[in-house]
Homo-oligomer: A and B are copies of this chain.
Amino acid sequence: MIKELENELADKFDIHFTNHALLDEAFTQASYVNEHPNRGLKFYERIEFLGDAVLQLTVSEYIYKRYPQMPQGELTRLRAAMVQEDSFSKFAVECHFDQYIRLGHGEEMAGARQRSSLLCDIFESFIGALYLDQGKDAVVSFISKVIFPKLDQGWFDNEVDYKTSLQEFLQRNGDVDIDYTVIKEEGPANARRYTVGVSADDQQIGTGTGTSKKHAEMDAAKNALQDLRQNQQ
């Protein structure tokens, strides 16, 4: 089973583990160890402890460098959105990690393989194993394929409330009138595309697009914020 995982990691991510035992440990739940008491197995929890911290740092460093103007509060909110259980469990499924978890019979019957908290744990423990085996650069290379592209795909835009951030930014020195207007609506009903403009005191400061008005507004706020911060420099 771990052999198949290794093949998949090699094919998809060009990852080749040296210490196969680490990978075994990262994908083994305590329930499986308990069912096989004489095989000297280890379960993933300690590696997960490490992987959690590896993800915190690699994600922090990436967004710190990618958004050189973003204030600490916003960086913290964005990181929280990126490193949460809901995100990690989705990444785990996307990488087919759910197929390779070694579970005890009871846990299997109880549907643990689909449980978001377990999937999140396994994503973290995989990262911990990758870090121990291949170092930080290998982790960065992996999450550059699995996590970072989601930023551009807008996965975390709802978590970082750009509309509120824009409002806070503009109203630091007094009241400003902020308006969002739909500029364009196009495409068929099942693939509608909205373009929205945002203005401050009747002057347009940004535009954005999205599959709903809400998403287009968020995108417009994000773009406006980025321009405003760059001009401030």
Using a CB–CB distance below 8 Å, which chain A residues touch chain B? 45-46, 48-50, 52-54, 56-57, 60-61, 64, 70-72, 75-76, 136
How distant is A184 from chain B, measured CB to nearest CB, in Å?
Answer: 36
Closest B residue by C-beta to A136: B136
Provide the residues of chain B in CB contact with A75, threshold 8 Å.
46, 49
| Bound-complex Cα distance A52 to B57 (A) | 9
- Judging by beta carbons under 8 Å apart, are B76 and A64 in contact? no
A74 nearest CB across to chain B (Å): 10
Chain B neighbourhood of A45, CB < 8 A: 71-72
- Which of A53, A70, A76, A136 has its CB near the most chain B CB atoms (within 10 A)? A53
A57 touches B49 (CB 8 A): no
Q: Which of B50, B60, B61 contacts A64 (CB 8 A)?
A: B50
A67 → chain B, closest Cβ, in Å?
A: 9
A74-B177 Cα distance, complex, nearest whole Å: 52
A49-B64, A49-B72, A50-B64 known; 15 other A-B pairs, CB under 8 Å?
A45-B71, A46-B64, A48-B72, A49-B60, A49-B75, A49-B76, A50-B60, A50-B61, A52-B60, A53-B53, A53-B57, A53-B60, A53-B61, A56-B57, A136-B136
Contact B46 A71, beta carbon cutoff 8 Å: yes
Please state if B56 and A53 are interface contacts (CB–CB under 8 Å): yes
State the CA gap A210–B91 with chains docked (Å). 48
List residues of chain B with CB within 8 A of the CB of A72: 45-46, 48-49
- Minimum CB–CB distance from A127 to chain B (whole Å) comes to 11
Provide a sorted-by-A list of 27 A–B residue pairs whose CB atoms are within 8 angstroms. Answer: A45-B71, A45-B72, A46-B64, A46-B70, A46-B71, A46-B72, A46-B75, A48-B72, A49-B60, A49-B64, A49-B72, A49-B75, A49-B76, A50-B60, A50-B61, A50-B64, A52-B60, A53-B53, A53-B56, A53-B57, A53-B60, A53-B61, A54-B57, A56-B56, A56-B57, A57-B57, A136-B136
Contacts of A50 in B (CB 8 A): 60-61, 64
**How distant is the Cα of A172 from the Cα of B61 in the complex, in angstroms?**
41
